[in-house]
Amino acid sequence: MDEIHLIYNPISGMARSARAAKALAHLLRKDGWKVEVHATQKPGHATRLAQNLKARAHMLVTIGGDGTINEVVNGLGDSPLPIGIVPRGAANVLAKELGLPRAVRKAKRIIEEGSVAKLDVGVVGGRRFLLMAGVGLDARATAVVHSRRTGSVNFFNYAAAVLKTIAVGHRFPELQIVVDGEEVKKDVRLAIVGNVRSYGGPFEFTSFARPDDALLDICLFEKTTQFDLLRFLWASFTKTHLNYSDVHYMRGKEIVITADESVPYQLDGDPAGSLPARFTVLPQVLPIVVDKAWKTLWENAS
């Protein structure tokens, strides 16, 4: 009998992920599926679970946030095993991008239909990411949030950390950017590398990104005064940021970012390391289970 394994993060969504896992397992078993449920115990555990389960599972289903999905993707590597998603995290960026529902019964229908879309995956330092990488303001705020995390986090935790970072007047070093071998000759201080349009919450930086076009998009910002940072955030909220002369946008298959001093970066909302970093893309290697109707609309729009 085909096995579906559910991997849920018990601290995502203020414990709602545990209830969703229980309900989904019950519904799938009623339809005759063999289901096993696994709770993550600490950061990195979902990666090890995925590594151990990929040889015998028919499908892995993540119940949690984007960080849980990221861990599972890194555990599966090049495995063709499809991933189902039931969003229960703080931002649920990938679910938003793919039009995936929170409702367990709707998620169960999509999982059983098994319609798969092949998505691109970004890679940096041997680690894979699905959504975005941030260098500068958001990376420092992410580090603050995770250093203090004891349970579930939400959009307001990240927003508060960003505003505090702006308020203290943190200095952001100049970044050196090379896209597909061509140097970006701008005084860049902040960078967002995106594989999808949405960044999280209402914000959108890489407005033309698609997770299946074999490219990474990058949005660059020059200024870091408190006023300019707030202006940049407001513009990304209203989706007018690309109208500014100090915002630059480009796309490529390889993006190299360096700095003359230590600068952190984040991947999919988790701290990931410090520059230098070389971002590349693996085209359409990640099978994600999506709604059949949504897949048809996306393919027709291509």
Token pair of 285 as six digits = 């290697």
CATH superfamily of 3-114: Probable inorganic polyphosphate/atp-NAD kinase; domain 1 (3.40.50.10330)
End-to-end CA distance of the chain: 36
CATH node for 128-281 = 2.60.200.40
Determine the 3-state secondary structure of 29 from DSSP: helix
Report the DSSP pairing between strands 116-124 and 203-204: unpaired
What phi and psi values does residue 279 have, to the nearest 5 degrees? -100, 125
Instruction: Taking the CA atoms of 88, 199, 171 and 275 in sequence, report the sign of the dihedral they define.
Output: positive
53-96 tens-digit pLDDT: 999 999 999 999 998 999 999 999 999 999 999 999 878 899 99
Is the backbone peptide bond immediately before 276 cis, with ω within 30 degrees of 0?
yes
136-174 tens-digit pLDDT: 888 777 766 666 655 556 565 666 666 677 767 667 889
CA dihedral (228, 233, 239, 245) in degrees, to 10, reads 20
DSSP secondary structure of 84-106: EEEE-SSS-HHHHHHT--S-HHH
Q: Give the domain ranges of the chain.
A: 3-114, 128-281
Cβ-based neighbour number of residue 250 at 10 Å: 16
Q: Report the alpha-carbon distance of residue 240 to residue 212 in Å, rounded.
A: 24
pLDDT tens-digit profile, the chain (302 residues): 589 999 999 877 556 899 999 999 999 999 999 999 999 998 899 999 999 999 999 999 999 999 899 999 999 999 999 999 999 987 889 999 999 999 999 999 999 999 999 999 999 999 999 999 999 888 777 766 666 655 556 565 666 666 677 767 667 889 999 999 999 989 999 999 999 998 877 888 999 999 999 999 999 999 878 888 888 889 888 999 999 999 999 999 999 999 999 899 999 888 889 999 999 999 999 999 999 877 666 666 65
